[in-house]
Amino acid sequence: MANGQQKAQQNLEAFISWSSTMTDDGFRQIVHRGQLNRVEVSKGVGCAKSVLLQNPRVRALLDELEVGLRKRGVLPQLTDAANSVQDLPKVHDRTLLRRSQDSKRVAELEQEILTLKMQLERFKELSEVIHELGLDEL
């Protein structure tokens, strides 16, 4: 049984072997959303998808491969926005659920306010009729 470092080395060698045997047409067939489909790459390499994300050497080679494919026109060029976002880590928004709940509650309260305003108008009209009839002095 191989230890973690040996397995990482085997995955690296498998990736190098796979990428050197692929043609541009083969790469075009596994393009998804402007990059190589990670699931298809992992199937071709014979490793788990997590290897492509967690093994730094494999990840670096995959990034270099995609840059080379972009230069050759196999993959589409990244937009300026994609280039700036690609280097930044994703920020977890802890307040997203709370804001969603708050906006739902605000909508409910606005509806309740409209209902109460309509009832108030009816009571004002009723009060005016009672006042005009002189029934309020009884």
pTM above 0.85, yes or no: no
- Neighbouring CB atoms inside 10 A of 113's CB total 10
Please give the pLDDT value at position 25.
Answer: 87
Q: Pick from 49, 20, 43: which is nearest to 30 by CA?
A: 43
Q: Which portions of the chain are predicted below pLDDT 50?
A: none
DSSP state at residue 91:
P
Please give the pLDDT value at position 87.
Answer: 60
- Neighbouring CB atoms inside 10 A of 66's CB total 18
Q: What is d(CA 66, CA 102) in angstroms, rounded to the nearest whole number?
A: 42
Please give the pLDDT value at position 34.
Answer: 84
- Neighbouring CB atoms inside 10 A of 75's CB total 20
Mean pLDDT for all residues in the chain: 86
Q: What is d(CA 40, CA 31) in angstroms, rounded to the nearest whole number?
A: 9
Please give the pLDDT value at position 118.
Answer: 93
Structure-block tokens of residue 125: 């009209």
